[in-house]
Copies of this chain bind each other. A is one copy, B any other.
Amino acid sequence: MAFTIEDLRLPRRMFLKRAAVVGAAVPMAGGLIAAACSDGSGGAEAAAQVAIKTTTPGPDGSGGGAQVTATATQTETAELADWEKIDHDHAKGIELFLENIKSPLTRGKGNVELAPRMENGVKVWDLTCDELEWETVPGGFEKGRGYNNMISGPILRGVEGDRVRIHVKNNLKESTSTHWHGLLIPNNMDGVGILTQPEIKPGESFTYEFSLRNAGTHMYHAHHNSMDQVNRGLLGAFIVEPASGPRYQVAKEYVLVMNDSSLGYTINGKGFPATDVLTAKKGEKILIRWMNEGLMNHPMHLHGLPMQVMAIDGYPLPAPYLCDTIDVAPGNRYDTLVDCTEEGLWAFHCHILSHAESPAGFFGLTTVLAITA
């Protein structure tokens, strides 16, 4: 997973033009990394280069450069015509996205795998439900809620047949409960507040315990006042591997949990340009586990390469199929495989374009699959 920014390539001419426009605002503290980019199709397209600036991390060490840059930008763009401002802002967003790869521009990172501890053969996790200020885009803080102080919550991963125990501590100012979305478990562990268990009141805890019976890409999220709680971030991925070993032979996997509304359009709690880049080496196959915890369908479109849809809601499809746009409905999960056969920065975004781009540039449900040599 070690991705070096030097692998990224942007056409030199593009960068040079951009530098002329925004040069005053974007001091090039870093150097240019040039590299040839083979076309692969026999054409005579221009050679390509990489242009990424380094940033001075903010006082807290987590990348405060974005806001400084934004101030400078504001002054500068006052003299731009409307259409030039559109270009400038689009470029700015992409620069911030590339910068974010090297040094995160927002505080807080969710969707981090949490290893269980073993207690007498049981895999045990501790989860807290927390009120938090969450930075979804550089400088954009929202009143969120998250498991273990992060959005998406930690990734829980087990194997079919595991006995698992999850202690949920409610640090919220209201009651909650935790639903294990997709897992086949006893009804009294299903986590629907009041219907299958007493709600977990503020300050209280509840222990869930069950066996993992069905492999697949699943989720966990609040199920009490859930329209509000899930919307604000009380959600996470629960991956169950088959007893026979991982279902897919891949170089790496990505877990992408989408959300909308309260925190804006987010993937794993972040909107573009703070969304995580996906990376792969040319020739690798990767697995993307899609999950939609929002209130809208999101048809995610991958440029340049097809996705093979292997499973829905953890259940293998009898007839996997190829597509380049997968319409993920709220509550659904999809496993998709991508053969990374083509180098480049492949845009990857919701094709409801109002979730992904405005005259101020890309935002929300946009990321990039960066395939390097």
Interface residues of A in 246-281 (CB under 8 A from B): none
Say how far A100's CB is from chain B's closest CB, in angstroms: 14
Residues of B within 8 A of A42 (CB): 163, 211
Given the known inter-chain contacts A175-B86, A315-B323, A352-B296, please indicate yes or no for A188 contacting B330, CB distance below 8 A: no
The answer for the CA separation of A67 and B79 in the assembled complex, in Å, is: 45
A35 at the interface (CB under 8 A from B): no
Interface residues of A in 174-191 (CB under 8 A from B): 174-175, 179, 181-182, 184-190
Given the known inter-chain contacts A83-B175, A87-B175, A319-B317, please indicate yes or no for A295 contacting B354, CB distance below 8 A: yes
Residues of B within 8 A of A245 (CB): none
Tell whether, in the assembled complex, residue B319 and residue A211 are in contact, meaning their CB atoms are under 8 Å apart: no
Partner among B83, B175, B224 whose Cβ is within 8 Å of the Cβ of A174: B83
Residues of B within 8 A of A320 (CB): 318
A240 at the interface (CB under 8 A from B): no
The answer for the CA separation of A325 and B291 in the assembled complex, in Å, is: 12
A357 at the interface (CB under 8 A from B): yes
Residues of B within 8 A of A184 (CB): 304-306, 342
Tell whether, in the assembled complex, residue A186 and residue B94 are in contact, meaning their CB atoms are under 8 Å apart: no
Stretch at the interface among A12-20, A23-31, A111-119, A144-152: A12-20
Given the known inter-chain contacts A90-B199, A313-B322, please indicate yes or no for A227 contacting B358, CB distance below 8 A: yes
A82 at the interface (CB under 8 A from B): yes
Stretch at the interface among A54-62, A102-110, A133-141, A343-351: A343-351
Tell whether, in the assembled complex, residue B327 and residue A322 are in contact, meaning their CB atoms are under 8 Å apart: no
Partner among B175, B188, B198, B313 whose Cβ is within 8 Å of the Cβ of A45: B188
Tell whether, in the assembled complex, residue A344 and residue B11 are in contact, meaning their CB atoms are under 8 Å apart: no
A160 at the interface (CB under 8 A from B): no
Residues of B within 8 A of A317 (CB): 319, 321
Interface residues of A in 301-344 (CB under 8 A from B): 301, 303-306, 312-315, 317-325, 327, 329-332, 342-344
A39 at the interface (CB under 8 A from B): yes
Residues of B within 8 A of A41 (CB): 185-186, 210-211
Say how far A292's CB is from chain B's closest CB, in angstroms: 8
Tell whether, in the assembled complex, residue A86 and residue B225 are in contact, meaning their CB atoms are under 8 Å apart: yes
The answer for the CA separation of A211 and B41 in the assembled complex, in Å, is: 7
The answer for the CA separation of A220 and B332 in the assembled complex, in Å, is: 29
A72 at the interface (CB under 8 A from B): no
A7 at the interface (CB under 8 A from B): no
Name the 4 nearest CB pairs between A and B, nearest first.
A187-B344, A331-B351, A83-B174, A327-B329
Extra contacts, 11 of them, besides A83-B173, A91-B194, A317-B321 (Cβ < 8 A), are A11-B197, A41-B186, A43-B210, A86-B224, A87-B199, A87-B201, A190-B346, A295-B353, A306-B315, A314-B324, A323-B332
CB pairs A–B below 8 angstroms (12 shown): A37-B187, A45-B188, A45-B189, A83-B175, A90-B199, A185-B304, A186-B344, A226-B357, A228-B359, A312-B321, A315-B323, A329-B351
